[in-house]
Amino acid sequence: MSDKSKVRLMPLFLYAAGVLLVGGVIFYFSSPLDKAGLGISLQHKDRAVVDAGKATYAENCASCHGVVLEGQANWRQRDAEGYLPAPPHDESGHTWHHPDSYLFLMTKYGIEEMIGKSYPNNMPVFEDKLTDDEIIAALSYIKSTWSGRIQLKHDQINARAKAH
């Protein structure tokens, strides 16, 4: 390719790069899920938050996920309608495998909003039912029940998620 051809293509290249950059910025700043998850940090060592979260959990979560966070029986197997039973939030489940921001977004907006498509599930969306502080408190209560070893692993998951 000659130098003249390269010079003629440069404005086209710069225009395309600019369009992609502007589109990416608009997409990033317009996504409610991206904004909602920023700065979410569970407060599992704050007794007042944990106590409030225990009450929120009992009122809004325990009927499906269990009074002692045990989940429903056979939670890994879909039922006849294709739904998965509510998983446990104790150490036997997978809750601690997810960073704080994911847990918050899942609770507030639901799986379908997060993945952008329909997904058979019975998990209610709490966006209009609980405040952000109540969601964080309930999740903080859950984390407070895990052993120190699992809390440390969860902290490491959070650190990796924040690094990306």
Q: For 94-131, what is each residue's pLDDT tens digit? A: 999 999 999 999 999 999 999 999 999 999 999 999 99
Are 21 and 41 within one domain? no
Are 15 and 41 within one domain? no
pLDDT at 24: 45
Are 40 and 13 within one domain? no
CB 120 within 8 A of CB 127: no
Are 102 and 46 within one domain? yes
Q: What is the chain's alpha carbon radius of gyration, rounded to the nearest angstrom?
A: 21
| Segments forming the whole domain that contains residue 18 | 1-30
Are 113 and 124 within one domain? yes
Number of domains composing the chain: 2
Question: Which tens digit of pLDDT belongs to each residue from 9-23?
Answer: 666 555 655 555 544
Question: Which tens digit of pLDDT belongs to each residue from 134-148?
Answer: 999 999 999 999 999
Are 25 and 39 within one domain? no
Are 136 and 69 within one domain? yes
Are 118 and 103 within one domain? yes
- The interaxial angle of helices 47-60 and 132-144, nearest 10 deg, is 100
